[in-house]
Structure 1
Amino acid sequence: MSAEPYRFDCHRDHGPYAGVAGFLARIAAERPKLAVRHEVELHAIAPWLDRAARPAAEEAPIRFHPARRTAHLAYGAAEFVTAWAGTLRHPVTVRFDHTADADETTAELLAVLTGRAAPKLHLDLHAGGDPLPPAAPGPDDLRTTLGDSLARGFYHHAARTARRGRALVTPDGDLRHWWAFTTGLATALAALEQSAEALALYDEARAATDDPKIIMSAAYSTAMLYARHLPGAAQDPGRARHWLDQALTLAATIDDEHQRTISTVFYEQGVALLDARSGEPARALRMVDDGLARLTGALAAGERPQDVARLLHNRAQVHLALRDPAAALADLDTVIAQDPGNCEYYADRAALHRAAGRAKAALQDYGTAIRLGPHLPEAYYNRATLEHERGRLDRAQDDLEHAVAIDAAHLDARIALVNLYLERGAPDAAEAGARAGLALSPADPSLLCTLGLIRSERGDHAEADDLLSRALDGDPDLVEAWTNRAAVRFERGDVAAAVSDLDRAVALSPAPEPRFNRGTALMRLGRWAEAAGDFTRALATPGLDRATRRDLRAGLARCEREQAV
């Protein structure tokens, strides 16, 4: 590390990742080989490092990035910084100014960095700093910034930029810019789960102008809010269809035939989405097929490849709804060939490979999704479950730990990790993981159940009983909780209560374990005939392992001896 001090300005007026992007770029310049391993997140955070890239707003992405992507970028960037810090010979202090006025992306990454243990790296965070020179960008500059922020998935900055733009123009004075800022703000708000405010913006646009292009675009965007983005109870397929009909009616009036075809096909995909969701996948497939035929017929060779890829991806989802995975796979292969940089497609294809038993191909696609994502917790989780099925427990544990580190609230990954710790004989790690999960989701039945099992194995039957009872309050159909609480109550000497819990477990599950456990409890009560019935039925379960079959036969033999006395 050079002697020149590290000092970076994080004020949000400098844009997303202000300060931290410069810090990462400096490390990348000094450690280029290390940077190669993290180039996806580095190029997303500091795009000037990617010399081959065009401005993000010119890339015409198939769909906007999810808002949570910045958390994944922060995780990868923190890994990069931690690896660099591990190579330092002497301590280094990095000063960041204006952290109190930082963009959300910068604040998120700094929070991750400060949570990492890097002994030779000290982050010196200053809320203030030197005064910034005043800047007053005009509508053109703000519109460029807005488009870039939306395309890169930096929605808080996009929303601020759009609000600044709307403050400078009016629909009467500059309708073109006003609409760009209004629809850009609505897009950012929808991504940030503030869809009600986005809906109000489109209502405002309809009241402000009768421009058919704006009304058409607002109608389609309103339809998608009702179909996808509003909270569950507020979603309304009927209203979504109403607005799609209006968008299609206006699209039919477009003079230019080429643009008319593109707009019409694009809007029809919303109708196909609603058809698929309403249980009409065959009708949705016909609409997607027809749209593909008309779109490819209207486009020149190589024109708008991502629009074609979007329809092919939609068709793959419809094929899955029609239980035709081979057709879905063929579409995904084509989509990936056309747009090889989209992580979502690899994750979708991995699921198809896995369902078909092609584990090696699935693992390869999950790996690519993780690399391109970057660091998708869901891909780590899915790869971990596949590795676990293949008996590769070290790899499964590593992937699950990554998933939880990236997204602490990923409960499926946390539950799987806790159970894997138990399986591998690490009860301390399992208990710590369960309690960490419950700190985030105190009423999660699976975590309560697992922690109850851990406490019971450690002899704390009172706490275990309470935890398992809370799990059942949240999910009365959780078989494992009935079975585990029965075991706790059996150990505490309340055999009748244990039998009652196992009655519920047997009613819910055809598995042999609840019947075996109930048979054992019934023997303690001297109810030999009922116990024999449970052992007999459990023995009829296909695929029993040798040890379970032996124990069931031993229990049945004892029942028969006792009944013979």
Structure 2
Amino acid sequence: MTGELGGYDCHRDHGPYAGVAAFLSRIAADRPRLASRHQVELHAIAPRIDPAARPAAEEEPIRFHPARRTAYLAYGATEFVAAWAGTLRRPVTVRFDHVDNADETTRELLDALGRRCPDPLRLDLRDGGSEPVTADPAPEAIRTALGDSLARGFYHHAARTARRGRATVTPDGDLRHWWGCTTGLATALAALDRASEALDLYHEARAATDDPKITMSAAYATAMLYARHLPAADQDPAQARRWLEQALHLAAELQDPQQRVLSTVFYEQGLALLDSRAGEPARALRLIDDGLARLAAVLAPGERPQDLARLRHNRAQVHLALGDPAQALADLDTVIAHDPDNCEYYVDRAALHRAAGRTPAAIRDYDTAIRLGPHLPEAYYNRAVLQQERGRPGRAREDLDRVLAIDPGHLDARIALVNLHLERGALDTAETAARAGLALAPQEPALLCTLGLVRSERGSLAEAEELLTRALAVEPKLVEAWTNRAAVRFDRGDVAAAVADLDHAVALSAAPVPHYNRGTALMRLGRWDEAARDFDHALAQPGLDRALRRDLRTELARCRRAMAG
């Protein structure tokens, strides 16, 4: 590599990841072995790296990617660049042009590179310059580009493309092109949490045409907006059901027998979703089972395996709601066998393995989900929890650090990481991490509680009590905060206040530690019989560790001696 690379043109007119895709392709060509370890993110960002890969729009995805996936891709690409930079023997500067006019995907990746950019790599980000000259593409080209952006999860670019397409025609002039761009724009807006704007587009479509296929599709999409995508306060199951019934009525009139069955079955999955949410999982299960039977009757062996996988995945969720995890696991095993590249299925199966105590199997599924995702924060987080349970805090910290590198706002990961630092006695690191979390979420009770514990360990009892009081003001059912504030008040000599806090703790939890602590405080007050009852209660709890059991027996014997004397 030379000392300066570029300039790479990042203008949004060249599409998602303009500029950065070319840069990553150049590195991949230079370091193919390194690139092989980042295939998923590199293919998503720069598909031309693999000439044999099919365009995303031709893969007919069952579900669209979540908008946050681009952040995961940016993390993986940054890991790739950092590993490459670590092999450089002299400084290299990479120039990117038109950064101020870049697509959101490009800016997100450049921001991630800027945060992680290791020596000896330097980024030269330049704004302005001559604008790209782009001709208005034909309608077919616009729809192709729109479909590709939607399939790849690049929703800002998809929305711009759809708007450009809508501006070139009217419903009267080219209804097919107008509708394709309208529904594409609505899909992009819903993915970007702008579902109310998507709803307006479907109302516009119904006002513009009575074409039965368009009104059928618009009815189903409207139902899903009311069921899933609108803000929680605006979701309306009754409205969703009415729109689904309209879609089903129109589907029943389709001339093609196979398409009539396919459309009917998949619209009924919306009804099954509503039934399950309404506390009627048995009715939802009947709909799904009936749908699978009808699909089997009209599909050839091996035809549309992802469609069948989707229904079985839905059925697995219903089996869980019915309290049948074994049947849910059987469905997920079948789903994964037929659609082995969907990370969502592995996350769901890992949860079942975890609940059944099959920790190694759960970790393997999380490993696969992370590889296919790529870099799903929830998979890293759940794997960290399992690693901690297995007594591997170092591996847990590595996973939690990755979660926060991908998603700095992941509060559960921040809380877990602070607690891990605290457990190993790294008070400076724990305090820094807790304060960083509180800078993002100043009223997060778990972080306030943990920081209070850190300050208590350091002897700042007044500050610790204030932090724990703030935590309880936000979450009065947080047992740890009551227990920790009681310990602080006990150390400050206010034993009666400590007992009052522990009264709250034991009212909320039957766990042994609050009872042990209250018994200790009651002994200080000379209330031996009450203390003995707390120790007895704690000793009766299952799963006590040996040291706690020994301490409880010692204190109980002391109480009995005091009462006997």
* Normalised TM-score (structure 2): 0.98
2:555 paired with 1:555: yes
2:443 paired with 1:449: no
2:7 paired with 1:7: yes
Give 1:380 deviation, angstroms. 0.7
1:408 maps to 408
1:122 maps to 122
Give 1:117 deviation, angstroms. 4.2
1:138 maps to 138
Give 1:459 deviation, angstroms. 1.1
Give 1:528 deviation, angstroms. 2.5
How do 1:259-408 residues align onto structure 2 when only pairs under 5 Å count?
A: 259-408=259-408
2:481 maps to 481
RMSD of equivalent CA atoms = 1.3
Q: Deviations over 1:34-55 (max 9, x none)?
A: 0000010000000111222111
C-alpha distance in 1 between matches for 2:241 and 2:190: 19
How do 1:21-420 residues align onto structure 2 when only pairs under 5 Å count?
A: 21-420=21-420
C-alpha distance in 2 between matches for 1:3 and 1:398: 33
How many residue pairs are counted as aligned between the two chains?
565
- Compared with structure 1, are the counterparts of its residues 3 and 561 closer, same or farther at alpha carbon in structure 2 (3 Å cutoff)? closer
Give 1:138 deviation, angstroms. 2.9
310-319 or 68-77, which deviates more: 310-319
Amino acid at match of 2:321: A
- Compared with structure 1, are the counterparts of its residues 145 and 528 closer, same or farther at alpha carbon in structure 2 (3 Å cutoff)? same
Give 1:215 deviation, angstroms. 0.6
C-alpha distance in 1 between matches for 2:233 and 2:321: 23
C-alpha distance in 1 between matches for 2:266 and 2:550: 63
Q: Is the 8 A contact 2:4 2:93 kept in 1?
A: no
244-253 or 531-540, which deviates more: 531-540
* Normalised TM-score (structure 1): 0.98
Give 1:319 deviation, angstroms. 1.4
Give 1:125 deviation, angstroms. 0.5
Q: Deviations over 1:115-158 (max 9, x none)?
A: 01411001000111233224322322211111000000000110
Secondary structure of 2:544 counterpart: coil
Secondary structure of 2:219 counterpart: helix
Unaligned runs of 5+ in 2: none
Amino acid at match of 2:181: F
Q: Is the 8 A contact 2:10 2:19 kept in 1?
A: yes
Unaligned runs of 5+ in 1: none
Q: Deviations over 1:356-384 (max 9, x none)?
A: 22222221111110001000110011111
Give 1:564 deviation, angstroms. 4.0
Q: Deviations over 1:488-518 (max 9, x none)?
A: 1111122111111111001111111111111
C-alpha distance in 1 between matches for 2:532 and 2:73: 59
Give 1:62 deviation, angstroms. 1.5
C-alpha distance in 2 between matches for 1:538 and 1:350: 33
Amino acid at match of 2:337: A
C-alpha distance in 2 between matches for 1:27 and 1:66: 27
Secondary structure of 1:115 counterpart: helix
1:421 maps to 421
2:471 maps to 471
Secondary structure of 1:180 counterpart: helix
Q: Deviations over 1:55-83 (max 9, x none)?
A: 11111012000011000000000000000
C-alpha distance in 1 between matches for 2:313 and 2:528: 60
- Compared with structure 1, are the counterparts of its residues 117 and 458 closer, same or farther at alpha carbon in structure 2 (3 Å cutoff)? farther
C-alpha distance in 2 between matches for 1:534 and 1:339: 54
2:522 maps to 522
Give 1:559 deviation, angstroms. 2.7
Secondary structure of 1:5 counterpart: strand
2:462 maps to 462
2:436 paired with 1:436: yes
Q: Deviations over 1:209-239 (max 9, x none)?
A: 1111111000000000111111111111111
C-alpha distance in 2 between matches for 1:64 and 1:131: 32
430-439 or 273-282, which deviates more: 430-439
Amino acid at match of 2:377: P
C-alpha distance in 1 between matches for 2:360 and 2:564: 56
Q: Is the 8 A contact 2:27 2:84 kept in 1?
A: yes
Secondary structure of 2:119 counterpart: coil
Q: Deviations over 1:512-545 (max 9, x none)?
A: 1111111211222222232222222222223322
C-alpha distance in 1 between matches for 2:409 and 2:31: 33
Q: Is the 8 A contact 2:3 2:92 kept in 1?
A: no
C-alpha distance in 1 between matches for 2:408 and 2:383: 18
Secondary structure of 2:116 counterpart: coil
Q: Deviations over 1:336-364 (max 9, x none)?
A: 12211111111111112222222222211
464-473 or 540-549, which deviates more: 540-549
Q: Deviations over 1:288-325 (max 9, x none)?
A: 11111111211123322211111111111111111222
| Paired-residue identity, % | 75
2:498 maps to 498
Give 1:327 deviation, angstroms. 1.8
Amino acid at match of 1:523: M
384-393 or 213-222, which deviates more: 384-393
C-alpha distance in 2 between matches for 1:543 and 1:365: 29
C-alpha distance in 1 between matches for 2:340 and 2:553: 57
C-alpha distance in 2 between matches for 1:542 and 1:22: 60
Secondary structure of 1:297 counterpart: helix
- Compared with structure 1, are the counterparts of its residues 354 and 84 closer, same or farther at alpha carbon in structure 2 (3 Å cutoff)? same
Amino acid at match of 2:306: Q
C-alpha distance in 2 between matches for 1:535 and 1:356: 32
C-alpha distance in 2 between matches for 1:255 and 1:299: 17
